[in-house]
């Protein structure tokens, strides 16, 4: 009997756990360790942030779902990985600390034969002074952040209804943040909410981001097919903003957020200020902060993890100039190359390089987006690694045969612009592959037949359908595995 431990029950970890149990059946054990007792469909937090969905619409309790599926669940936080075991026992384990009410703080060793690190990001608000929902800006990264943000938005609307004018700033809170797509979607939803509340004329909406130009999305921008012609994501996003009278600032690293004032540095080295009443700024991500130790208890964190805390896998991490990076450098099997029974998926793996061109201001401040890690590739990695591990267990082999490289996978993206069965709208985009490959696709780096963007009601229906489908799938309801990642 083999035991697979999965750290994290988010998009990638939950997918991996569900498929592993399905593939391995009762003969083998699957254990999930995650500090939060609830699963969250994070993309729909955007709607919680404008009051279009409630927290209970986007979350559910994991324990009953796992119990029914035969998956062991420990509501706990992983702290350290001991891939060689310790002096008492050769068996690899993870040290964890419980976070649930009954056992808070209780420590335990969770032994494993195979380990999947799916711990997602640490939301690194501390990287920017004054950033974050405990300080001077808002977020929609978690349900509780989105709920708080929605409360602030409602207060703004009440004030605007009394005739006051308000300044909204939405974007990224650091020169190296990622997830511009989520901030962009939130901007669109705030705009629509203000229009519906009849107060849009009282609001000034400003986008701020670390992108070189609009529509970069951490992917170096995209050439998209639209209605039969090819355009750039810059034109696509700028025209959406222009149409809705939203102004934008790009090439910006936010240095400090004070109550109602943002201090930022631009790529040409200027320091500027921007006043606000409401600021939703996404933080940069780092790894979850796991440590690793050898048998003697010596710290080997730097051999398993990159300096940014993400886990090293089968990528090419050689140091080379940006121009020399190739799509083949991206990991395929997601297997750690020192400990072949460890994998990292979703946001938890260390990307080999940035996709958007790295740039620095004359003051030496890096200002460029980190690579995006969207849900579709994350879930695909979960299923791929589940297939590989199930195969390895069955064959007694250490070679994973399934691959899910972001240079070979595409990603759909539905940016909702508003809700409502007939009045809703979404910008639907698809990118293939996520990491451009100029060898295979010399003109645009991507397959232009599969990289497209359209705006319309159909996109809103698809986005809404995906919300219900993914929640259905995550709840492991009958036939869940037929729903694609
Ligand atoms: C506001 C927002 C909107 C988004 N919208 C979209 C969208 O429309 N489409 C899209 O494709 N993607 C979207 N994304 C991105 C998508 O949410 C991520 O790609 C996806 O969640 C990544 O999955 P993951 O499993 O790597 O991480 P997560 O889903 O974040 O899961 C990480 C898990 O690890 C757990 N964990 C953390 N630390 C530990 C620890 N020490 N021990 C054990 N467990 C731990 C966490 O509690 C969590 O359960 C959005 C992201 C945000 C923030």
The separation between CA 470 and the C-alpha centre of its own chain, rounded to angstroms, equals 16
118: CA distance to ligand 1 center in Å?
9
In sequence order, what are the residues at sequence separation of 6 or more whose Cβ sits closer than 8 angstroms to the Cβ of residue 103?
A: 76
Maximum pairwise Cα distance, the chain = 70
70-96: b or e for each residue (b if 16 or more CB lie within 10 Å)?
A: ebbbbbbbbebbbbbebeeeeebbbbb
C-alpha to C-alpha distance for 334 and 330, rounded to whole angstroms? 9
| pLDDT for the residue numbered 464 | 84
Give the closest residue to 95 by CA, choosing from 84, 86, 82: 82
In sequence order, what are the residues at sequence separation of 6 or more whose Cβ sits closer than 8 angstroms to the Cβ of residue 323?
A: none
Q: Residue 426 half-sphere exposure, CB side, CA atoms within 13 Å? A: 23
Backbone torsions φ then ψ of 285, nearest 5 degrees: -105, 145
147: CA distance to ligand 1 center in Å?
17
Structure tokens at 186: 């939130």
| pLDDT for the residue numbered 415 | 80
CA distances to 40, 98, 444 from 61, rounded to whole Å, are 9, 16, 44
- The CATH number that domain 3-123+285-395 falls under is 3.50.50.100
Of 62, 140, 182, 348, best ligand 1 pocket probe by most atoms within 8 Å of the beta carbon: 182
- Ligand 1 is surrounded, with C-beta below 6 A, by 7-13, 33-36, 42-43, 45-46, 77-78, 118-120, 140-141, 179, 182, 288, 290, 346-348, 373-376, 378, 413
Ligand 1 atom 50 nearest Cα? 43
In sequence order, what are the residues at sequence separation of 6 or more whose Cβ sits closer than 8 angstroms to the Cβ of residue 375?
A: 11, 42, 43
> Do 6 and 19 form a contact (C-beta atoms < 8 A)?
no
Ligand 1 atom 11 nearest Cα? 375
Nearest atom of ligand 1 to the alpha carbon of 79: 41
| pLDDT for the residue numbered 455 | 80
C-alpha to C-alpha distance for 85 and 280, rounded to whole angstroms? 43
Of 374, 431, 462, 474, best ligand 1 pocket probe by most atoms within 8 Å of the beta carbon: 374
| DSSP three-state, residue 440 | coil
217: CA distance to ligand 1 center in Å?
17
| pLDDT for the residue numbered 430 | 83
- Helix residue ranges per DSSP H, 112-179: 143-161
Nearest atom of ligand 1 to the alpha carbon of 119: 34
For residue 314, count other CB atoms closer than 10 A to its CB.
19
324: CA distance to ligand 1 center in Å?
30
| pLDDT for the residue numbered 226 | 75
374: CA distance to ligand 1 center in Å?
9
Ligand 1 atom 27 nearest Cα? 120
Structure tokens at 352: 């080999």
C-alpha to C-alpha distance for 253 and 257, rounded to whole angstroms? 11
Of 5, 6, 8, best ligand 1 pocket probe by most atoms within 8 Å of the beta carbon: 8
- Helix residue ranges per DSSP H, 433-475: 457-474
- Helix residue ranges per DSSP H, 265-319: 301-304
| DSSP three-state, residue 195 | helix
Give the closest residue to 178 by CA, choosing from 370, 413, 308, 377: 370
| pLDDT for the residue numbered 47 | 93
346: CA distance to ligand 1 center in Å?
8
Domain limits of the chain?
Answer: 3-123+285-395
| pLDDT for the residue numbered 397 | 86
442: CA distance to ligand 1 center in Å?
32
344: CA distance to ligand 1 center in Å?
13
pLDDT tens series, the chain, 485 aa? 999 999 999 999 999 999 999 999 999 999 999 999 999 999 999 999 999 999 999 999 999 999 999 999 999 999 999 999 999 999 999 999 999 988 999 999 999 999 999 999 999 999 999 999 999 999 999 999 999 999 999 999 999 999 999 999 999 999 999 999 999 999 999 999 999 999 999 999 999 999 999 999 999 998 887 777 888 999 989 999 999 999 999 999 999 999 999 999 999 999 999 999 999 999 999 999 999 999 999 999 999 999 999 999 999 999 999 999 999 999 999 999 999 999 999 999 999 999 999 999 999 999 999 999 888 899 999 999 999 999 999 998 889 989 999 998 888 778 878 777 777 778 787 888 999 999 999 988 999 888 877 787 877 888 788 888 899 999 999 999 988 88
> Do 130 and 256 form a contact (C-beta atoms < 8 A)?
yes
| pLDDT for the residue numbered 331 | 97
Task: Tell me the torsion sign for CA atoms 123, 129, 131, 133.
Answer: positive
120: CA distance to ligand 1 center in Å?
5
| DSSP three-state, residue 148 | helix
Rg of the Cα trace of the chain? 22
pTM of the prediction? 0.95
| pLDDT for the residue numbered 417 | 80
Query: What residue has token string 């705030």?
Result: 190
| pLDDT for the residue numbered 224 | 83
| pLDDT for the residue numbered 173 | 98
| pLDDT for the residue numbered 459 | 77
| pLDDT for the residue numbered 238 | 95
Ligand 1 atom 32 nearest Cα? 120
Could you tell me whether strands 203-208 and 271-275 are parallel, antiparallel, or unpaired per DSSP bridges? unpaired
CA distances to 2, 20, 119, 480 from 27, rounded to whole Å, are 8, 11, 26, 21
| pLDDT for the residue numbered 134 | 97
| pLDDT for the residue numbered 33 | 98
What residues does 123 pair with on adjacent strands?
285
C-alpha to C-alpha distance for 239 and 215, rounded to whole angstroms? 11
364: CA distance to ligand 1 center in Å?
31
Query: What residue has token string 């951490």?
Result: 218
Structure tokens at 8: 């994290």
């Amino acid at each position: 009997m083999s035991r697979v431990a999965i750290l994290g029950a988010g998009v990638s970890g939950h997918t991996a756990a569900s498929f592993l149990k399905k593939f391995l059946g009762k003969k083998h054990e699957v254990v999930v360790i995650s500090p939060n007792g609830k699963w969250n469909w994070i993309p729909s937090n955007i709607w919680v942030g404008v009051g279009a969905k409630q927290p209970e619409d986007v979350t559910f309790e994991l324990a009953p779902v796992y119990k029914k599926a035969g998956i062991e669940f420990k509501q706990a936080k992983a702290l350290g990985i001991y891939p060689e075991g310790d002096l008492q026992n050769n068996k690899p384990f993870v040290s964890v600390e419980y976070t649930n009410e009954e056992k808070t703080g209780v420590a335990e060793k969770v032994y494993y034969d195979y380990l999947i690190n799916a711990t997602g990001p640490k939301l690194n608000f501390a990287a920017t002074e004054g950033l974050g929902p405990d300080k001077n800006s808002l977020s929609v990264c978690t349900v509780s952040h989105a709920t708080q943000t929605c409360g602030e938005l409602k207060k703004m609307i009440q004030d605007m209804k009394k005739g006051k004018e308000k300044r909204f700033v939405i974007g990224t809170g650091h020169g190296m943040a990622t997830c511009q797509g989520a901030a962009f979607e939130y901007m669109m939803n705030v705009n629509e909410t203000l229009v519906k509340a009849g107060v849009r004329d009282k609001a000034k909406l400003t986008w701020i981001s670390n992108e070189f130009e609009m529509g970069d999305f951490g992917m170096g921008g995209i050439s998209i097919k639209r209605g039969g012609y090819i355009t750039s994501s810059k034109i696509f996003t700028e025209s959406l903003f222009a149409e809705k009278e939203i102004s934008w600032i790009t090439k910006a690293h936010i240095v400090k957020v004070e109550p109602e004032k943002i201090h930022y540095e631009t790529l040409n080295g200027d320091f500027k200020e921007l006043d606000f009443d409401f600021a939703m700024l996404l933080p940069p991500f780092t790894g979850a902060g796991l440590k690793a130790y050898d048998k003697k208890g010596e710290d080997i964190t730097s051999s398993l993890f990159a300096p940014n805390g993400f886990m090293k896998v089968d990528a090419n991490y050689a140091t080379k100039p940006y121009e020399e990076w190739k799509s083949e450098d991206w990991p395929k099997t997601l297997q750690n190359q020192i400990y072949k029974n460890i994998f990292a998926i979703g946001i938890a793996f260390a990307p080999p390089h940035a996709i958007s061109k790295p740039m620095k201001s004359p003051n030496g401040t890096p200002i460029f987006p980190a690579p995006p890690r969207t849900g579709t590739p994350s879930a695909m990695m979960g299923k791929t690694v589940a297939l590989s591990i199930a195969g390895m267990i069955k064959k007694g082999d250490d070679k994973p045969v399934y691959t899910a490289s972001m240079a070979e996978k595409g990603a759909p993206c539905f940016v909702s612009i508003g809700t409502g069965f007939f009045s809703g709208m979404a910008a639907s985009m698809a990118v293939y592959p996520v990491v451009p490959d100029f060898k295979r696709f010399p003109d645009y780096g991507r397959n232009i037949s599969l990289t497209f963007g359209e705006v319309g009601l159909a996109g809103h229906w698809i986005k809404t359908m995906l919300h219900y489908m993914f929640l259905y799938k995550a709840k492991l309801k009958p036939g869940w595995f037929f729903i694609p990642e």
